[in-house]
């Protein structure tokens, strides 16, 4: 039976199964469109601890991964847990590539655990890129009306600034437009965030704006609805108010701080460039609270809802461009 979204439960020693379980009651009307992918025995234990009735969980399709595994202690790095996390992702990708699901929503995994389990990939994005042969995968945040695409992510600030060239800015302006198109967003206005205070004040506080950003924007303005650079202390607010469809953030913290201060728990991460849409929460396995049953599920529920809302249009647009 095909459905819209496969939801991987993440590392069973982390909070992934908990936040998925807590999300189920809010997703009951979409139960036929959701397949849960993970270790059933571990998930049943989580449901029992949370006092969530099996009558809710039974409404959702479930793909059991590694069913022979015993209880997995919470909050501990484990190659067994890492193996379940990896196999869950692999199963979800297979379903998506076969067209049985149109998108994937992932609960958090632990990098150390998946490496101990023998993974040659260090995180979700690398794994999904490798399993699908996708060479150009970018990350978009969506927090209510605010969308952010990142020119760079996991680099030191010095390296991130060095990566800002006219060529890279032009490339990511194009990827920003592609993201809006793939998601089916009507507002195609792209805002480029400035790097320096007050947008550099024409070179007074830095020359990157006038030497790199302005020329890049001017050269792409004939192809895309792009403008800027706008001071970073105001552009994200303007986008959240609906003025822009997306903001091009120049480095990791510039966009992360804006999104998470706006609404930490509703910040959803999306990968653009895969043959299917992948959404996820933007937090980790939180081993320090795993098994305490206090994790906030808001982000997981939002990530699943975003996958349900966007994955069909994304898949349609992806197939249309190939």
Classify strands 103-106 and 5-8 as parallel, antiparallel or unpaired: parallel
Q: Do domains 1-137+273-322 and 139-267 have the same CATH topology?
A: yes
222 Cβ contact list (under 8 Å, min separation 6): none
Nearest Cα to Cα of residue 122 among 112, 132, 131: 112
* CA 279 – CA 11 distance, rounded (Å): 16
DSSP-derived secondary structure letter, 68: T
Burial label for 71, CB within 10 Å (0-12, 13-18, 19+), is exposed
pLDDT at 1: 38
- List, for residues 85-137, the tens digit of each pLDDT value: 999 999 999 999 999 999 999 999 999 999 999 999 988 999 999 999 998 89
Q: Which two tokens stand for residue 203?
A: 């070179």
The pTM assigned to this predicted structure is 0.90
pLDDT at 290: 95
Which is it for the CA torsion 317, 224, 173, 267, positive or negative?
negative
Q: Do residues 24 and 54 touch, judged by C-beta distance below 8 A? A: no
pLDDT band at 200 (very low <50, low <70, confident <90, very high): low
User: What CATH class is the domain 1-137+273-322?
Assistant: alpha beta
* CA 79 – CA 318 distance, rounded (Å): 35
Name the architecture of domain 139-267. Answer: 3-Layer(aba) Sandwich (3.40)
Alpha helices in the chain (DSSP H): 16-23, 40-50, 54-57, 79-97, 111-116, 124-132, 157-162, 166-183, 208, 214-220, 232-240, 252-263, 298-321
Burial label for 28, CB within 10 Å (0-12, 13-18, 19+), is exposed
User: Is pLDDT of 202 > 90?
Assistant: no
Query: Max CA-CA distance within the chain?
Result: 65
In three-state secondary structure terms, 286 is coil
* CA 36 – CA 30 distance, rounded (Å): 12
DSSP-derived secondary structure letter, 206: B
- List, for residues 236-294, the tens digit of each pLDDT value: 999 999 999 999 999 999 999 999 999 988 999 999 999 999 999 988 999 999 999 99
* DSSP H or E segment with residue 229: strand 226-230
* CA 16 – CA 39 distance, rounded (Å): 12
Domains in the chain: boundaries: 1-137+273-322, 139-267
Backbone φ, ψ for residue 241 (5° rounding): -85, -5
Residue 271, beta-bridge partner list: 139, 278
């Amino acid at each position: 039976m095909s459905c819209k979204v496969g939801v991987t439960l993440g590392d069973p020693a982390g909070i992934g199964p908990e936040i998925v379980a807590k999300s189920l009651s809010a997703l009951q009307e979409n139960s036929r469109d959701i397949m849960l992918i993970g270790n059933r025995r571990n998930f049943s234990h989580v449901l029992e601890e949370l006092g969530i009735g099996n009558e809710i969980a039974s409404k959702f399709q479930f793909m059991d991964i590694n069913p022979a595994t015993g209880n997995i202690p919470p909050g501990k790095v484990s190659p067994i847990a890492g193996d379940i996390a990896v196999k869950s992702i692999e199963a979800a990708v297979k379903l998506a590539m076969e067209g049985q699901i149109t998108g994937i929503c992932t609960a958090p995994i632990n990098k150390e655990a998946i490496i101990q389990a023998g993974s040659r990939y260090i995180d979700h994005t690398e794994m999904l890129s490798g399993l699908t042969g996708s060479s150009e995968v970018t990350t978009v945040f969506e927090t209510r009306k605010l969308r952010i695409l990142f020119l760079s992510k996991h680099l030191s600030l010095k390296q991130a600034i060095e990566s800002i060239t006219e060529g890279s800015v032009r490339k990511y302006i194009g990827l920003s437009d592609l993201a809006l198109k793939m998601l089916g967003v009507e507002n195609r206005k792209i805002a480029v965030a400035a790097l320096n205070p007050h947008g550099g004040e024409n070179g007074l506080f830095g020359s990157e704006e006038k030497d790199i950003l302005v020329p890049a924007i001017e050269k792409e303005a004939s192809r895309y609805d792009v403008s800027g650079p706008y001071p970073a202390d105001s552009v994200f607010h303007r986008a959240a108010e609906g003025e822009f469809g997306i903001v091009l953030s120049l480095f990791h913290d510039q966009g992360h701080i804006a999104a998470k201060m706006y609404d930490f728990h509703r910040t959803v991460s999306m990968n653009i460039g895969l043959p299917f849409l992948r959404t996820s929460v933007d937090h980790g396995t939180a081993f320090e609270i795993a098994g305490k049953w206090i994790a906030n599920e808001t982000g997981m529920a939002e990530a699943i809802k975003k996958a349900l809302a966007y994955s069909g249009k994304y898949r349609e647009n992806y197939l249309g461009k190939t």
